[in-house]
Amino acid sequence: MNPSHPDVTALRAALVEHARDLILVVDEASRIRYASPSAQALLGVDAEALSGRVGTALLHPDDMDVARLALARLVQHPASAETFTCRVRGEAGQWRWMEACGSNALAVPTIGGLVFTLRDITAKRELEGRLEWQAFHDPLTGLANRVLFTDRVSHALSRRSRAPIDVGVLFIDLDHLKKVNDSLGHAAGDALLREAARRIQQSVRAADTVARLGGDEFAVLLEDSSAAECLETAERLLTQLTRPFVIEAREVVCGASIGVALADAGANVDDVVRDADVAMYVAKAEGRGRVVQFAPAMRAEVAERLLLGADLRRAIAEETLAVHYQPQFDLARGVVTGAEALLRWMHPTRGEIAPSRFVPIAEQAGLMSELGRFVLRTACRDAAAWRGACPLPLGLSVNIGTRHLHETGVVADITGALSAAGLPATLLTIELTESALLQGATPAVGVLRALDAYGVGIAIDDFGTGVSSLANLRTLPVRRLKIDRRFVTALGQPGADDALARAIIALGGALGLTTVAEGIETSAQLAELRALGCPTGQGYLLAHPLPAAQFIAAVQDGALQRHGSALVGALTAAAAA
């Protein structure tokens, strides 16, 4: 069709008139000469009412300079294109985030102006903002998390290099949270953690940084505080945390052990946090419920960790570690679809050592890659065995650590484990954290594409707790998103905010990815996940991790199938009642 044909001209005009994006034509002074009808839907303003107004006057004051520079560059360089983001105010006073793309059409007789296309990205910015906040904060308490706390300590130490200031760190561990969890349940434990966080925050200065490092561990950064002031603050915190907590109308006494460390000259972040941690362990060893200031002799705790590291290295070499398997279920039907491999360590003299204890030791000792290879070999071998014994094809999920992912031989490790076990690559899914993808992103992309080409599935674990761009999901060969258990824990509770879980499930569906919820512990959580359309899940409600032989037996005799079907059936019946 001839571009000058009247039908083409009418078609172009119709496309502009019906476009969802806002199209503006402005002159060199930013005065609006034309606005498309979509202005009404996007901003609540009639398009004709915009005519003659100065376009930059609609923008947020913080975004005006960026827009004016873009407009100036378009005028000076007619062949260029400008893209920027800005906030535009609607008729009701609300701000909408827009992605603006501009081009110079001053020389086009039928236009004679600068053309800007504005796309509403408010929902995307809000979601990314919430995910970014989550990356640096603990969602349960709202406090800073370990990443943000470490950054704040680093900045404080940098300041000290320019001016003589004291930098102190308090390491706080609640003494009896496990008893609360075991007796009253995890919901009660979470309530206690939130109240403990509130008490800590109210007992320090506004300028001090309070963080939850994980589990029942908190930390406080004190700047410009002497040793005496740090100890005084720690004692005040101890008094507050020793007072009874009222949880579910019951008084609960928890208490705390607190380690105090002041940064020595030349100390780095790891040094001061480690010293405070060591002092806290000494406080626990001395009977709990007390404050202990770090002394160099306490570094025996570090020696203890080194001993455990040597024992762990020996356990890897002798293959005396164990891999258990947590079943994963189709949440719609209650059918077992696969399992996640989880590492367990039964020490010959110390008994079972929790992953929360030995994984940090493995990281410090540089053993994470060796652990990863051991789990890969063992899990692929076990999966090949249950493939021959189980009536249904079951998938296997294995976590790969950040360090292992960025080693040159990681692809050979994975493909070699599959080949040695005789396990089809299509049955294996590798789980990676968002932070693992961000660190050295370019090599990671090559590894993931190589694995994808081999047939191995890729999953992002604990999705929503990192800071990866949503755009990465379109470029990386990811097939699964695992919803972090912290988002799942909130589901099914009165007044709970399910926005992040809902958004992640919707995002996965929009991108054709499978979402997997982890940490399902209550029927209310399961019901909510089913209602939100989450297809797959795992957690103690569905099944605890099992040794390989027990997992195979439970699949073969139908025990897991009956349990999953019964849970789903009960929820379906309850919904229909």
In angstroms, rounded to a whole number, what is the distance separating the alpha carbons of residues 325 and 261? 40
Longest CA–CA span in the chain (Å) reads 90
Mention every residue, 6+ apart, whose C-beta is less than 8 A from residue 79: 104
**484-487, long-range: CB within 8 Å, 24+ apart, which pairs?**
484/518, 484/519, 485/518, 485/519, 485/539, 486/139, 486/140, 486/519, 487/139
Residues 135-148: pLDDT tens digits?
Answer: 899 989 999 999 99
| pLDDT at site 4 | 52
pLDDT of res. 472: 65
Q: In residues, how long is the chain?
A: 577
Asked if residue 477 lies in contact with residue 454, where contact means CB atoms within 8 angstroms, the answer is no
Domain boundaries, the chain: 6-120, 139-294, 323-576
> Which pairs with CB-CB distance under 8 Å and at least 24 residues apart come from 40-49?
42/90, 42/96, 42/118, 42/120, 43/88, 43/89, 43/90, 43/91, 43/96, 44/90, 44/91, 44/92, 45/90, 45/91
Give, for 399, the enclosing helix (H) or strand (E): strand 395-399
* Predicted pLDDT of residue 359: 85
Residue position matching structure tokens 């915190």: 237
CATH number of the domain at 6-120, please? Answer: 3.30.450.20
Q: Comparing C-alpha atoms, which of 320, 402, 318, 396 is closest to residue 353?
A: 320
Amino acid at position 74, single letter: L
> One digit per residue, pLDDT tens: the chain, 577 residues?
445 545 555 555 555 565 678 999 999 888 999 999 888 888 888 888 888 888 888 899 999 999 999 999 999 888 888 999 999 988 778 899 999 999 999 888 888 899 999 999 988 888 888 888 888 999 899 999 999 999 999 999 988 777 677 899 999 999 888 778 766 788 888 999 999 999 999 999 999 999 999 889 999 999 988 999 999 999 999 999 999 999 888 888 889 999 999 998 778 899 999 999 989 988 886 778 999 999 988 877 767 777 888 999 999 888 889 999 999 999 999 999 999 999 999 999 989 998 888 887 887 677 888 999 999 999 999 999 998 888 778 999 999 987 788 788 899 999 999 999 999 999 999 998 866 665 445 567 888 899 999 999 999 887 765 545 555 666 788 899 998 888 888 786 766 667 778 888 888 888 888 999 999 999 989 999 998 999 999 999 999 999 999 999 999 888 998 998 889 888 887 776 6
In CATH terms, 323-576 corresponds, of 3.20.20.210, 3.20.20.450, 3.90.1150.10, 3.40.50.2020, to 3.20.20.450
On the question of a common fold for 139-294 and 323-576, the answer reads no
Instruction: Return d(Cα 515, Cα 522) in angstroms, integer.
Output: 19
In whole angstroms, what is the distance from residue 64 CA to residue 86 CA? 8
DSSP-assigned beta bridge partners for residue 260: 170, 293
Alpha helix positions (H), 286-354: 300-318
Nearest Cα to Cα of residue 179 among 191, 188, 170, 168: 188
Task: Give the number of other Cβ atoms within 10 Å of residue 243's Cβ.
Answer: 12
Helix pair angle (559-576, 523-532), 10° resolution = 70
Nearest to 333 by CA among 566, 559, 565: 565
On the CB side of 235, how many CA atoms lie within 13 Å of its CA?
7
CATH superfamily membership of 139-294: Reverse transcriptase/Diguanylate cyclase domain (3.30.70.270)
The predicted model scores a pTM of 0.57
